[in-house]
Structure 1
C-alpha cells in the first residue's frame, strides 16, 4: 500500500488502490515484441515441423495428426496469454484447422503426385457390403484383369464408390502412401490451405502482441469469456 502525498484536512491519506491508474504497471515494449516474435517463430516452426513429420510417417498418419493437435493447442494457449483475452483465440480455431489439415495432407499428396502410378480400375468387392458399416475396404481390379493387393479405404455412409463403378486412382508403387482417386489429389490446394492458415496465425499474433501490450500497460488481466 502506497502513501499519497496529497492532504485531506492536513493529514496524509493512504492510497487503497481505488484511484485511477493505481493498478497500472509499466511494461517494456521490447519484452512484448520478443514475446510476439517468439510466438510467430513457434507458429512457423510448428507448421513446418509437422509437415516434415507427415512426409516421413506416410503410413502412420496418426503421428502427425497427434503432433499437429499438440502444436495447435499450444499455439492457442500462448496466443491467449499474449493477448490477455480470448476472442482472438476463438477466431484462431478455423486457421488452426487449416494448419492441421494442410500439414498432415501435404506430404502424402506431394508423394502421390511425384511418384504415384495412375491406373483405371473397377470396384469388384466392398468389405462393408451387407454389414451396415461405414468403413469400406474396396477391392479393385485393373484393366488387364489384375486384382490389386492394396485396398481402397473409404470412411463414410454416402459418396463411396460402389461395386462395378470405374475409378481413376493414383497409387504408390512402394505402397507407402494410401491410394487416392486421381481427381482428388491436389498438392497445390493443400499447400494453399497450409500457407493460408499459417499466414492468418501470423496476423493474429501481431494483433495479439499489440493488444496484449496495451492491456498489460493498463493492468488488465486474462479473464473468463467473454473478454475483449
Structure 2
C-alpha cells in the first residue's frame, strides 16, 4: 500500500510542480515529472525484485508525465482565460516553428499563436477562437485544442495503471513467498 501511496504522491507532486511553474519553460515540469516517474519505477523494481515490473511502469508514467505537464496550463486557461475571436493575418516560419500573427476586434494581439510541427492546419485569413491569459503567464492557445478534462483523464489512467502494477507486484510477492521461492531476482 505504501508503494500505491507513493505513486499517488508522484502524480500529485508532478501536477503541483507543473502548476507552480506555469509560464516557465516546459523543461522544468517535464524534468521534475520524469525524475519522479523514474523514482517510482525504481522503487517498484527494487522492492519487488522484478525489473520487468519497473519496465512495465513506464507506460503509465507517460500518461502521468503528459497529463501533469499539460493539465496545469490548460486548466489555467479554462479557468481564467479570455476568449477572443481572431483572424490570422501573418505567419512567420522558422524550421518547424510557426508563429501566427493574430488580429482581434480591438486590433493586433501582442502574442502570436505558436505551433511546433510540420502541418499546423492554420492558413492566412482563417478565423478562430483563442484563449488568452489576462496575467500573461500561460501562452495563448486555440480554444478548440484546450482540454483539461482530457489531461485529467490521462493522469487518472496513469495513476490507475501504477496502482494495478503495484497490486500485481504485491500479489506476485505474496504467491512467491507462500511457495518458498525467494531466490530469483528478475523473473
Query: What residue in structure 1 maps to residue 110 of structure 2?
Result: 149
Query: What residue in structure 1 maps to residue 27 of structure 2?
Result: 62
State yes or no: 1:93 paired with 2:54: no
**Matched residues in 2 for 1:141 and 1:92: separation?**
46
Query: What residue in structure 2 maps to residue 41 of structure 1?
Result: 5
**Matched residues in 2 for 1:167 and 1:196: separation?**
31
Which structure has the highest helix share of the two? 2
Query: What residue in structure 1 maps to residue 145 of structure 2?
Result: 184
Aligned residues: 184
Query: What residue in structure 2 maps to residue 219 of structure 1?
Result: 182
Could you list the per-position Cα deviations for residues 133-158 of structure 1 after superposition, in whole angstroms to 9, with x for gaps in the alignment? 101122111134x1111121110001
**Matched residues in 1 for 2:80 and 2:182: separation?**
57
Q: Which moved more, 1:85-94 or 1:167-176?
A: 85-94
**Matched residues in 2 for 1:220 and 1:142: separation?**
69
Shift in Å at residue 100 of structure 1?
Answer: 0.5
Shift in Å at residue 213 of structure 1?
Answer: 4.2
TM-align CA RMSD: 1.7
State yes or no: 1:112 paired with 2:77: yes
Could you list the per-position Cα deviations for residues 36-74 of structure 1 after superposition, in whole angstroms to 9, with x for gaps in the alignment? x22212111111011111111111122111100001111
| 1:82–1:209 contact (8 Å) kept in structure 2 | no
SS in 1 for 2:110: coil
**Matched residues in 1 for 2:120 and 2:172: separation?**
46
* Candidates 74, 78, 87, aligned match of 1:122: 87
Q: Structure 2: which 5+ residue stretches go unaligned?
A: none
Any runs of at least 4 consecutive aligned residues in structure 1 with deviations exceeding 6 A, and if so which? none
TM-score by length of 2: 0.90
Query: What residue in structure 1 maps to residue 122 of structure 2?
Result: 161
SS in 1 for 2:12: helix
**Matched residues in 1 for 2:140 and 2:176: separation?**
51
Q: Structure 1: which 5+ residue stretches go unaligned?
A: 1-36
